[in-house]
Amino acid sequence: MSDKIINVPTADGDPYSASRETTEGTVYTVGGQDWDDITAALGETAEERIVVNMGPQHPSTHGVLRLILELDGETVTECRLGIGYLHTGIEKNCEYRNWTQGVTFVTRMDYLAPLFNEYAYVRGVERLLGIEDEVPERANVIRVMLMELNRISSHLVAVATGGMELGALTAMTFGFRERELILDIFEMITGLRMNHAYFRPGGVAQDLPPGAVDRVRDLLKLLPERLSDTEKLLIGNKIWMERTVGVGYLDLTGCMALGVTGPILRATGLPHDLRKSQPYAGYEQYEFDVVTETTCDAYGRFLIRMTEMKESLKIVEQCLDKLQPGPVMIEDRKIAWPAQLALGGDGLGNSLDHIKHIMGQSMEALIHHFKLVTEGFRVPPGQVYSAIESPRGELGVHLVSDGGTRPYRVHFRDPSFNNLQAAPAMSEGSMVADVIAAIASIDPVMGGVDR
Amino acid sequence: MSELDRSLPETQPPVAPAEAETVDVRHGMFGAQGSGDTSGYGRLVRPVQLPGATPRPYGGWFDDVADTLERALGEGGDLGYGDAVERVVVDRGELTFHVRRASLVTVMQALRDDPSLRFEMCMGVSGAHYPTETGRELHAVYPLMSVTHNRRVRVEVTCPDGDPHIPSIVSVYPGNDWHERETWDFFGIVFDGHPGLTRIEMPDDWPGHPQRKDYPLGGIPVEYKGAQIPPPDERRSYN
């Protein structure tokens, strides 16, 4: 660092737009509206190298992401990213709650794909317990159905916010409007629009409410029309193409080296999808295609998201056909949550029948309920890595158990966290405006990045 | 792409309890300490045993991977297979190589480059802290995936708390850049040779490494219906 720093106020004497000399050259501190000063000051020097801090509070950085851009004119010569602004210590918190309560924490990580966080975690717990195959069929079908609906809602936001960041505001309103349809279904089934905590080790919290299947069927009729509206709006749109074609280029070699997965990897032509290659939750029984493009750019990723939503609709339709009556929670009473939820006058809670049973009829049932709810179940010691295909790529969960009633270590390998590393490779050498398009095509969710 | 082979042949031997790795011994129940045995559970002793070394055959393609790795690293000698791989654990259908830290980069290079291994992707690194496992307190766990062969393995490395150094594998898997920074941030494992090992989630001037077991969760007591409820890490717990 420089040994002497000289603060030179600019012509108008604004203390916030000062400049100082460092070994690396003059450093100007500017806020909004100061651009005239900076261009005036720069006009006197030959060098036009500027370092710009974009974010963390900036509408086009997709959340609290901080971009540190080194500019030569309007060309980005170096791009660095600052993250951590949304770190909430979820992994640490999980170590102080029992295995079932962990679901409530992890669902808050990648908040646009909460059900994927839940499933990856729950599957890890199930594998640690060795009960992966004992989860009832109906529970798995419900899980797949909700995950695919969630994939659509997540891709809709990706297209919506991506569109907003590039100035396509109608894409934004369309995307959020359609997403709301799905969130309504989530609210009906899980009780919440987000942060559901609906998947539990061994099954799901409760069965589908009456009318849910009809609601999903209605959605299956409505959504294809709505999606085609967005398609008509953007696919082939000259402005949209100008902003995204050839932008944010990352080829297969780059993806492999940086561990990038998801739509970015599939946009290089590699049909890698964990639902197909390493199926879980019965995905091998569903008919769907892995969508690929070969353009390696932001437009290709956008096309993949659009087509994947249609593939997800196909899966949801098959789920509805496969849905047979049956239990939604594992039979093993040492693991299965004892109570069924029911809607009462004061909201969702333990069903009155269950309360009547444990409080008035059976002491053993009360003990059983108490032990499972306060202590939880013990998980044999060991570690697992459970990976699923989230909307953004491989979502991996590393779980360690020490044989106790709480996780010893929960680590989420979030795809956004990993994929964001590719932003410099995608955007260095391009224009500032293309950085926005590149970041939008990565579709990072800062809740998942920082956890 | 073939389906991920999770099936283990019937020759799969059960993990011998004697082989299990004891990382901790818990006494009593409810985490109550320093008072008389009011719970009646005070004399309970529970060793915490992680699955130990698995003898061959490991089953399925696990043996192929181990054989190929052995061939790629060479027998015994400096940084050979016998020296590099402490033990191999097969547990819950997953294969783990416990690798000595001096050999980590060589092993990773072999896992990535050998045509019949070809683990193209490293899915980051996760830490784990076992304060009572003297000399091996800090673990770094690397999940690897091969798209070519559709396989997954795990590499685990340990280092003592007093000398928390593990070589960086960013030269082999550039995507591990942020993951290693995160593990340094949370566990204090120094990844030697990392191009810029700085904190990533916590502020730059943060003291301590939050995911260590001796680092408190924090929190304040809250009042609920007249009772004081202590923060989660101070509540009694089943141990």
Residues of A in contact with B51 (CB under 8 A): 381-382
- Is B4's CB within 8 Å of A277's CB? yes
Say if CB A107 and CB A197 are below 8 A apart. Answer: yes
Residue with tokens 């994947």: A308
pLDDT value for A183: 93
What is B123-142 written as a DSSP string?
Answer: ---EEEE-TTSTT--EEEEE
Residue A148, CA distances (Å) to A53, A174, B75 in order? 37, 19, 48
B73 min Cα distance to partner chain A (Å) = 22
Report the candidate in A162, A193, A158, A156 with the shortest Cα–Cα distance to residue A178: A156
Q: Does A383 reach chain B within 8 Å, measured CB to CB? A: yes
Alpha-carbon distance A85 to A109, whole Å? 13
Say if CB A195 and CB A114 are below 8 A apart. Answer: yes
Query: Residue A327 corresponds to which tokens in the numbers above?
Result: 């239990």
- Is A84's CB within 8 Å of B203's CB? yes
Main-chain phi, psi angles of A59, to 5 degrees: -60, -20
Instruction: Provide the Cα torsion A24, A30, A36, A39; round to 10°.
Output: 10
Query: Residue A79 corresponds to which tokens in the numbers above?
Result: 């791009």
Q: Does A406 reach chain B within 8 Å, measured CB to CB? A: yes
- Is A257's CB within 8 Å of B49's CB? no
Q: Which of A381, A384, A394 sits opposite B48 (nearest CB)?
A: A381
Say if CB A137 and CB A205 are below 8 A apart. Answer: no
Q: What is the pLDDT of residues A10-41, one digit of tens each?
A: 445 555 556 667 776 666 666 656 566 666 66
Q: Which of B177, B201, B217 sits opposite A84 (nearest CB)?
A: B201
Alpha-carbon distance A88 to A244, whole Å? 33
pLDDT value for A156: 93
Q: Looking at this predicted complex, what is its ipTM?
A: 0.86
What is A148-196 written as a DSSP string?
Answer: HHHHHHHHHHHHHHHHHHTT-HHHHHHHHHHHHHHHHHHHHHHS-SS--
Q: What is the pLDDT of residues A262-273, one digit of tens each?
A: 999 999 999 999
Task: Give the number of A-B residue pairs with CB atoms closer than 8 Å.
Answer: 134
Of the residues A278, A290, A377, A401, the best mutation for testing chain B's interface (the one with the most B CB atoms within 10 Å of its CB) is A278
Q: Does A66 reach chain B within 8 Å, measured CB to CB? A: no
Q: In chain A, positions 131-190, which contact chain B (CB-CB < 8 Å)?
A: none
Residues of B in contact with A405 (CB under 8 A): 237-238
Query: Residue A268 corresponds to which tokens in the numbers above?
Result: 């290089």
Would you put residue B89 in left (φ > 0), alpha (ψ -120 to 50) or beta?
beta
Q: Which of A258, A387, A398 sits opposite B126 (nearest CB)?
A: A398
- Mode of pairing for the β-strands spanning B151-159 and B94-99: parallel
Main-chain phi, psi angles of B86, to 5 degrees: -65, -50
Say if CB A116 and CB A108 are below 8 A apart. Answer: no
Q: In chain A, positions 76-135, which contact chain B (CB-CB < 8 Å)?
A: 83-84, 87, 89, 91-93, 95-97, 127-128, 130
pLDDT by residue for chain A (451 residues), tens digit each? 333 333 444 445 555 556 667 776 666 666 656 566 666 666 655 556 677 777 676 666 677 888 888 888 788 898 999 898 889 999 999 999 889 999 999 999 999 999 999 999 999 999 999 998 889 999 999 999 999 999 999 999 999 988 888 888 888 899 999 999 999 999 988 888 888 889 999 899 888 888 899 999 999 999 999 999 888 888 888 888 888 998 999 999 999 999 999 999 999 999 999 999 999 988 999 999 999 999 999 999 999 999 999 999 999 999 999 998 988 888 888 888 887 777 777 777 778 888 888 888 999 889 988 888 888 899 999 999 999 999 999 999 999 998 889 999 999 999 999 999 999 999 988 988 888 889 989 989 998 999 8
Of the residues A80, A83, A92, the best mutation for testing chain B's interface (the one with the most B CB atoms within 10 Å of its CB) is A92
Residue B173, CA distances (Å) to A152, A274, A386, B145 in order? 32, 21, 21, 12
Main-chain phi, psi angles of A8, to 5 degrees: -115, 105
Residues of B in contact with A130 (CB under 8 A): 92
B222 min Cα distance to partner chain A (Å) = 16
Query: Residue B20 corresponds to which tokens in the numbers above?
Result: 């299990």
- Is B50's CB within 8 Å of A92's CB? no
DSSP bridge pairs for A350: A341
Would you put residue A296 in left (φ > 0), alpha (ψ -120 to 50) or beta?
left
Tell me which chain A residue has its CA closest to the CA of residue B201.
A84
Of the residues A416, A418, A419, A450, the best mutation for testing chain B's interface (the one with the most B CB atoms within 10 Å of its CB) is A418
Q: What is the pLDDT of residues A393-440, one digit of tens each?
A: 999 999 999 888 999 999 999 999 999 999 999 998 898 888 888 998
- Is A278's CB within 8 Å of B174's CB? no
Q: What is the pLDDT of residues A136-157, one digit of tens each?
A: 999 999 999 999 999 999 999 9
B77 min Cα distance to partner chain A (Å) = 31
Q: A184-215: buried (b, 16+ CB within 10 Å) or exposed (e) per residue?
A: ebbeebbbebbebbbbbbbbbbbbbeeebeeb
